[in-house]
Structure 1
Amino acid sequence: MSPIVLGPSTIASQFWCEMAVDLRREYGEVKTPEKEIGSEIHKDRFLEVLEEIIVEIKTPGDKLHSNVHNMSVGLELYQKEGLTRELPILFKFDSALIMGIIDEIKEIKEVEGIGNKKKAHEKTQVVEMKTRKSLNPPSPQQIIRDKMQGMIYWYGLKSMIDKKTEMGDFWTAYGVDLVENDFNDLILSEQYMKSLEIKENAQKEYGTLLSIGSIIDKTLKEATKLPELSETIEIIYIHQKTLQEVHRERYKFDERFFTRGMRWALEYWSGKREPTSVGEANNWKCDFCSYYTVCPAIHKKWRQGD
């Protein structure tokens, strides 16, 4: 059985409409102008703190190396500046592997203690940024979905800080076969190494399973050096046209809500249950859905209305 590998935004979307998640698996992602604008805004924020290097991805090894490299560079920047954006993470929850990209982590000071024993401690805060077409604040249902996504990132980063992510998780998540490949075999494509400007005489050493394993090991060690996580997660909602902040949500990681929610979500991915549609009270969500015309739940309502 293939391992379950998921992204935080996919899991969080189940808290909006699981049927839409199921339909996306069947019909693919539907691109919208709003999603494209949102991606551009995220990219612009990333370019404020880091330089983009365009690479040519040809193999699973290329993708693995690219993400581990971005993780390493992001962690290095955080150590220097107390801020980084678009930080890749990888972790396990039960038997599922979760990998995604945190919008931002920043260093903050939190005062702890009582009375004269109060002391400021350096903490790492997870920050998510959402873009909105409207100047109106998000609905409670949208906030629940986004809070779950923020908690997934928080849990994932804490897992890496606490040394719960292992090197083997990377090979599995990116589909790099350790049986077929010897440690001295090249797993990076020539095109990828050329786009990184790796000299030809260095490619044989740079692109091997062994050398990439060393990079993963180094990066995992760097993650453990992050300051302790603040329990407060922040979500900032920004208007797409004006970049004006329309809402800011601050909340604490809720272990009980998170654990129950993750186990409920993973029941669908492990085939233990069929996808659920929104209840009658949330039918209004269907008006904003890209899969409206192919949704079996909508067709059922139409038939009942005949």
Structure 2
Amino acid sequence: MPITLGPSTIASQFWCEMAVDLRRKYGEVSTPEKEMGSEIHKDRFLEVLEEIVVEIKTPGDRLHSNVHNMKVGLELYQKEGLTRELPILAKFDSALIMGIIDEIKEIEEIEIQGKERIKTKKTQIVEMKTRRSLNPPSSQQILRDKMQGMIYWYGLNMMINKQTEMGDFWQVYGVDLIENDFNELILSEEYMESLEIKKEKQKEYGTLLSIGNMINDTLKTISKLPELSKHIEIIYIHQKTLTEVHREKYKFDERFFTRGMKWALEYWSGKREPSSVGEFNNWKCNFCSYYTVCPTIHKKWKE
């Protein structure tokens, strides 16, 4: 069965793969900086869309919520040329990639067609990172974030080009197509009540068949987006002042991306042990939440 990975998890391997491995073993470590970053992202989302709190009880609830968010985000993009927190789902080799893009916006780019310069509408991916410091990010941080942006680019491009299938959704959320009748409800009553779906309307929204139709319609909508711009932007924001401290604009590099993904997936498929940062980059250890449990640090202490 394919493993499901988030773009930020894969990108974190390019910072320190050992920390990714320790996160799997010991869980996520919450910090004030992470919480503040999440709040800033949420505030940016609320600038363009309304948040609806729902009660998730079943895999079907999670699936419907994700596709619903995708659908609403696409509707806003079609109307305004901008949306935030857009979910994506795609496949790379044996892995399913599921994540949420910070922002996509419609831009115009000049293309050379013969002797003419033509203005063309494109969709651009924009990622936002928050920083404690007013200093620009290090080259190692930028490398990690560039990889994350490229994963989002790859995922959205797959969806625009109709390479994400309905079956990928059932698989990633663990919805059993054999056990469930297509006309039976797979959404919980609590979830439908939180969405204010009336009893007489539940069959229209909550069956395997109706959710399948919703997925199909959403995939058709996403395939009609303007072609992706090769240029990706990362904006670094200072957490306290919300001022921009750095902006990175770069192109999707297919060779770098493919080699990086194959290297990253070797770890997830069990082909190799997690690698540490090495002596040249051991300054990263000073910023790590897993410092006290890291076997590489323990080895250095013994030496």
Is the structural similarity TM-score above 0.5?
A: yes
- Give the structure 1 partner of residue 108 of structure 2: 109
Deviation at 1:115, TM superposition (A): 8.8
| CA distance in 1: counterparts of 2:253 and 2:170, whole angstroms | 30
- Give the structure 2 partner of residue 251 of structure 1: 250
The amino acid that maps onto 1:86 is: E
- Give the structure 2 partner of residue 13 of structure 1: 12
After superposing the two structures, state which structure 1 stretch, 202-211 or 217-226, moved more. 202-211
* 1:240-279 paired onto structure 2 within 5 Å: 240-279=239-278
Distance change >3 Å, CA 117–CA 205, structure 1 → 2:
closer
Deviation at 1:265, TM superposition (A): 0.4
Aligned-partner SS, 2:2:
coil
| CA distance in 1: counterparts of 2:114 and 2:95, whole angstroms | 44
- Give the structure 2 partner of residue 203 of structure 1: 202
Deviation at 1:103, TM superposition (A): 0.2
Aligned-partner SS, 1:138:
coil
* 1:212-251 paired onto structure 2 within 5 Å: 212-251=211-250
Post-superposition Cα deviations, 1:50-90, rounded to whole Å, max 9, x if no partner, equal 01000001111101100100000111110111000000000
Alignment: residue pair count: 303
Aligned-partner SS, 2:63:
helix
* 1:42-121 paired onto structure 2 within 5 Å: 42-113=41-112, 117-121=116-120
Consecutive unaligned residues of structure 1, counting only runs of 5 or more, are: none
- Give the structure 2 partner of residue 24 of structure 1: 23
| CA distance in 2: counterparts of 1:260 and 1:50, whole angstroms | 37
Deviation at 1:116, TM superposition (A): 5.4
| CA distance in 2: counterparts of 1:42 and 1:205, whole angstroms | 33
Aligned-partner SS, 1:113:
strand
Deviation at 1:3, TM superposition (A): 2.0
- Give the structure 2 partner of residue 128 of structure 1: 127
The amino acid that maps onto 2:18 is: M
Distance change >3 Å, CA 114–CA 228, structure 1 → 2:
closer
| CA distance in 1: counterparts of 2:278 and 2:289, whole angstroms | 18
| CA distance in 2: counterparts of 1:19 and 1:169, whole angstroms | 29
The amino acid that maps onto 2:87 is: P
Aligned-partner SS, 2:162:
coil
Deviation at 1:95, TM superposition (A): 1.5
| CA distance in 1: counterparts of 2:97 and 2:117, whole angstroms | 37
Post-superposition Cα deviations, 1:126-152, rounded to whole Å, max 9, x if no partner, equal 000000000000000000000000000
Post-superposition Cα deviations, 1:283-306, rounded to whole Å, max 9, x if no partner, equal 0000000000001111111111xx
| CA distance in 1: counterparts of 2:151 and 2:113, whole angstroms | 31
Does 2:303 align with 1:293? no
| CA distance in 2: counterparts of 1:256 and 1:32, whole angstroms | 35
Aligned-partner SS, 1:204:
helix
- Give the structure 2 partner of residue 181 of structure 1: 180
| CA distance in 1: counterparts of 2:114 and 2:167, whole angstroms | 47
**Deviating runs (4+, > 2 A) in structure 1?**
none
Deviation at 1:114, TM superposition (A): 6.9
The amino acid that maps onto 1:172 is: Q
The amino acid that maps onto 1:255 is: E
Deviation at 1:206, TM superposition (A): 1.8
| CA distance in 2: counterparts of 1:56 and 1:301, whole angstroms | 47
| CA distance in 2: counterparts of 1:226 and 1:255, whole angstroms | 21
Aligned-partner SS, 1:185:
coil
Distance change >3 Å, CA 114–CA 194, structure 1 → 2:
closer
- Give the structure 1 partner of residue 137 of structure 2: 138
The amino acid that maps onto 2:89 is: L
Deviation at 1:205, TM superposition (A): 3.5
Consecutive unaligned residues of structure 2, counting only runs of 5 or more, are: none
Aligned-partner SS, 1:20:
helix
| CA distance in 2: counterparts of 1:295 and 1:179, whole angstroms | 43
| TM-score of the pair, normalised by structure 2 | 0.99
Deviation at 1:185, TM superposition (A): 1.9
| CA distance in 2: counterparts of 1:59 and 1:31, whole angstroms | 26
